[in-house]
Structure 1
Amino acid sequence: MNEVKSFKAWQELLTQQEALLLFVKTDHCSVCEGLYPQVERLTEQYPFPFFYVNVAKVPEMAGQLSLFTAPVVLLFRQGKETARFARFVPLEQLQKRLDELKEACG
């Protein structure tokens, strides 16, 4: 997964990618650290990129995306959010939504 280092970079990604996943984490978050490798393992199964952002380093992202907790997994298609999973992410449901996104992208 590639890191998003600024809100401006994030805005550019949204216009450049047809679909993507964004994993949102923060400092000192044990749930984030436990979930990250599980989500990262899914990258090989999907044709669109996965990104992550640490909102402690890019706080503007939390405000712009209305993020109130971490971790959060967001799916986007054509610049619009299509799914949001927060705090405790059920991997089975996440994979189902990723499969739907993959189908929608062709």
Structure 2
Amino acid sequence: METIKNYEELQEVIKVELCVVIAKTKTCNVCKPLSEKLKVFMEDYPSIPSYQLYLEDVELFQGQHLVFTVPTIIVFSESKEILRESRFIDFEKIQRLFNLYLN
């Protein structure tokens, strides 16, 4: 999982058909294990790129995408948000969405 360093980089990577971004902070105790779980989950979908970003590094993301809590996973399709999961992440919902897009 690649790390996004600035907002301009984010704008470029979300232009693809489907991608996943997890927003987290460096001090979040829940973010690290959830990020690892997402990484393992995404191994089943090698064609879908996944990224992580730290809100401390990409502050503009928090305001532009209304991220009020971490961890937040956002699925983008061609620069548009199509799914958001925060705090209690429902991986089955993400899986259903991926299966709809890939089939």
TM normalised by structure 2 equals 0.90
Query: 1:2-21 alignment to 2 at 5 Å?
Result: 2-15=2-15, 17-21=16-20
* 8 Å contact from structure 1 (residues 2, 51) kept in 2: yes
Retained in 2: the 8 A contact 1:77–1:101?
Answer: no
Cα offset, 1:38, TM superposition: 0.7
Task: Count how many residue pairs are aligned between Structure 1 and Structure 2.
Answer: 102
* Map of 2:60 onto structure 1: 60
Q: Flag as ranges the 4+ runs of structure 1 deviating above 6 A.
A: none
In 1: Cα distance, 2:28 partner to 2:4 partner:
18
Verify the 8 A CA contact 1:75 1:83 in the aligned structure 2.
yes
Identical-pair percentage? 27
Structure (1/2) with the larger helix percentage: 1
Q: What is the CA-CA distance between 1:66 and the residue it aligns to?
A: 0.8
Per-residue CA deviations over 1:12-54 (Å, capped at 9, x if unaligned) read 1123x22100111112111111211110012222111001101
**Offset of 1:58 from its aligned partner?**
1.3
CA distance in 2, matches of 1:61, 1:70: 12
- Gaps in structure 2 of 5+ consecutive residues: none
RMSD: 1.3
Per the alignment, in what secondary structure is the counterpart of residue 27 of structure 2?
coil
Confirm or deny: 8 A CA contact 1:20 1:77 kept in the other structure: yes
After superposition, residues 1-106 of structure 1 pair within 5 angstroms as 1-15=1-15, 17-46=16-45, 47-103=47-103
- 3-state SS of 2:57 partner: coil
Q: What letter matches 1:33 in structure 2?
A: K
Letter of the structure 2 residue corresponding to residue 81 of structure 1: E
Instruction: Please say which of residues 42-51 and 81-90 is displaced more in the overlay.
Output: 42-51
Structure 1 residues without counterparts, runs of 5 or longer: none
Distance 2:67 2:41 in 1: 23
